[in-house]
């Protein structure tokens, strides 16, 4: 099934049913009182997290969804039927955004969690409601209120404990195959991974964590190059990042240079994301001799001025992967305890999550805007050539205007 993690949809709640104007007419009762019933409420629209879904592909081509209208009121004080609510299933980890205001309406992070996105219209009142001591035969009714209509943007972020970072061919997919039952495609060419892959890593008999592999980053990714930039948002909800570096690249490049590329792209995409706990994992150690291995590890650590944990592994040979998995499990357990026992620590993590979320959305929106401008043929200011014409006299000291012919 095709992986789709961003869609735009339009939802419309049902309108409320109109009130009925009716009078009691029975044998021997020619002038009975009013008996018009109220209309029914319009159906509302909900989004519900479904653990059986892992993509938004169902909303790629069908984008308009309407809940049922309420029925009009009936005679003999009968209330109209309520419109049926519309419940749209989405994967767990979906963020719902109001496209008009860019406001985050909610996050569906637990199976069965439900969010109201469009309220059904209120029912109209029948003429019975307006009966009084001075108005025994009211002819007044009210129409039902229209239901809410919204343009929504749905963004799916996979829910994982650990995220993998690295250049293409750093061995991320091989690593996830080595430590879990997931079997992502592995090949000796770049961009083998085209969509995020999740794997469950079992540590011991009863403990496990989820790890996410995203397409590799390349230099210029923060400006839209390559595949990985749009998938970086999937790392926003992880608790730990593993930065995988190829210790023996086929092109003979410096592993430290490759590590710096990832750090720079991460910083440009979201400065807050660089504050997430991150471990350095030096992969493909089996392709180096012992002395050469130690030398390259030292070079990378010194070049990056790395202060955090460092692991040297071979994902292909499963060398060092068990120790790394156990260290990750211990870290996650200790983090969970700290969150429960230290409110300040928990609040700091929550604030960091909010910063990462905001920066990621802002950066992706900026890239979308730039793409839309390019498609419309609008040039950016730094792409316009200066023809030497100076119009400072007309600008009256304001910003210079560049006219594109």
Q: Is 39 annotated as a binding residue?
A: no
194 known member of a binding site: yes
Q: Is 133 annotated as a binding residue?
A: no
Ligand-binding annotation for 170, yes or no, is: yes
- 183 known ligand binder: no
**Is residue 364 part of an annotated ligand binding site?**
no
Could you write out the DSSP letters of every residue in 347-379? HHHHHHHHHHHHHHHHHHHHHHHHHHHHHTTPP
171 labelled binding-site residue:
yes
283 marked as part of a ligand binding site: yes
Q: Are 52 and 105 in contact (CB under 8 A)?
A: no
Query: CA 364, CA 359: separation in Å to the nearest integer?
Result: 9
Ligand-binding annotation for 316, yes or no, is yes
Q: State the helix-helix crossing angle for 321-341 and 343-375, rounded to 10 degrees.
A: 110
52 is in an annotated binding site: no
Q: Which of 175, 172, 163 is nearest to 191 (CA)?
A: 172
C-beta neighbour count of 370 within 10 angstroms: 14
Task: Consult the annotation and say whether 172 binds a ligand.
Answer: yes
112 labelled binding-site residue: no
Look at the block and give the residue holding tokens 């608790």. 239
- Rg of the chain (C-alpha set): 30
Residues 6+ apart with CB under 8 A from 367: 223, 224, 229
Q: 191: closest CA among 219, 158, 228? A: 228
Contact between 126 and 18 under an 8 Å Cβ cutoff? The reply is: no
Residue 10 neighbours by CB distance under 10 Å: 14
Please give the Cα distance from 52 to 89 (Å, whole number): 10
Closest CA to 22 of 72, 82, 74: 74
35 burial via Cβ count (<10 Å: 0-12, 13-18, 19+): buried
The answer to whether the annotation marks 350 as part of a ligand binding site is no
Residue 216 counted as an annotated binding residue:
yes
324 in a labelled binding site: no
Q: What gap in Å lies between CA 270 and CA 297, rounded to an integer?
A: 27
Q: Is-contact 157 237, C-beta < 8 A?
A: yes
Cα within 13 Å of Cα(392), Cβ side: 3
User: Is 255 assigned to a binding site?
Assistant: no
The answer to whether 154 is annotated as binding is: no
Cα–Cα distance between 286 and 387 in angstroms, integer?
Answer: 58
| 192 annotated to bind ligand | yes
Question: Per the annotation, does 31 bind a ligand?
Answer: no
Q: 213 among the known binding-site residues?
A: yes
* Residues flagged as binding site for GTP: 166-173, 191-195, 213-216, 283-286, 314-316
* Residues flagged as binding site for Mg(2+): 173, 193
* Residues flagged as binding site: 166-173, 191-195, 213-216, 283-286, 314-316
């Amino acid at each position: 099934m095709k992986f789709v993690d961003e869609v735009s949809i339009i939802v419309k709640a049902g309108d409320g049913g109109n009130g009925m104007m009716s009078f009691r007419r029975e044998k021997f009762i020619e002038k009975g009182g009013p008996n018009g019933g109220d209309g029914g409420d319009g159906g509302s629209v909900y989004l519900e997290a479904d653990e059986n879904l892992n993509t938004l592909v169902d909303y790629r081509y069908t984008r308009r969804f309407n809940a049922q209208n309420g029925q009009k009121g009936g005679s003999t004080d009968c209330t109209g039927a309520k419109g049926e609510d519309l419940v749209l299933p989405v994967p767990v980890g979906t963020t719902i955004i109001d496209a008009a205001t860019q406001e985050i309406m909610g996050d569906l992070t637990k199976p069965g969690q439900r969010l109201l996105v469009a309220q059904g219209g209120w029912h109209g009142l029948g003429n019975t409601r307006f009966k009084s001591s001075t108005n025994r035969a009211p002819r007044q009714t009210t129409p039902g209120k229209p239901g809410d209509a919204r343009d929504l943007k749905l963004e799916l972020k996979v829910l994982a404990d650990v995220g993998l970072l690295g250049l293409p061919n750093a061995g991320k997919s091989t690593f996830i195959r080595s430590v879990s039952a997931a079997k992502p495609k592995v090949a000796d060419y770049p961009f083998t991974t085209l969509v995020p892959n999740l794997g469950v890593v079992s540590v011991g008999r009863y403990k496990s964590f989820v790890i996410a592999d995203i397409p590799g980053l390349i230099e210029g990714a923060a400006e839209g190059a390559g595949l990985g930039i749009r998938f970086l948002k999937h790392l926003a909800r992880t608790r730990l990042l593993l930065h995988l570096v190829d210790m023996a690249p086929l092109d003979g490049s410096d592993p430290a240079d490759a590590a710096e590329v990832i750090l720079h792209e991460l910083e440009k995409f979201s400065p807050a994301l660089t504050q997430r706990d991150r471990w350095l994992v030096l992969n493909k150690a089996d392709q180096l001799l012992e002395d050469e291995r130690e030398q390259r590890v030292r070079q990378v650590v010194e070049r990056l001025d790395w202060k955090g944990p460092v692991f040297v592994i071979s994902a292909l040979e499963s060398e060092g992967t068990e120790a790394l998995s156990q260290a990750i499990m211990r870290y996650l357990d200790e983090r969970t305890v700290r969150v429960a026992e230290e409110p300040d620590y928990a609040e700091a993590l929550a604030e960091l999550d909010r910063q990462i979320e905001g920066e990621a959305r802002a950066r992706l929106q900026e890239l979308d805007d730039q793409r839309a401008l390019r498609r419309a043929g609008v040039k950016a200011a730094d792409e316009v050539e200066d023809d030497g014409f100076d119009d400072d006299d007309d600008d009256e000291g304001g910003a210079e205007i560049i006219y594109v012919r």
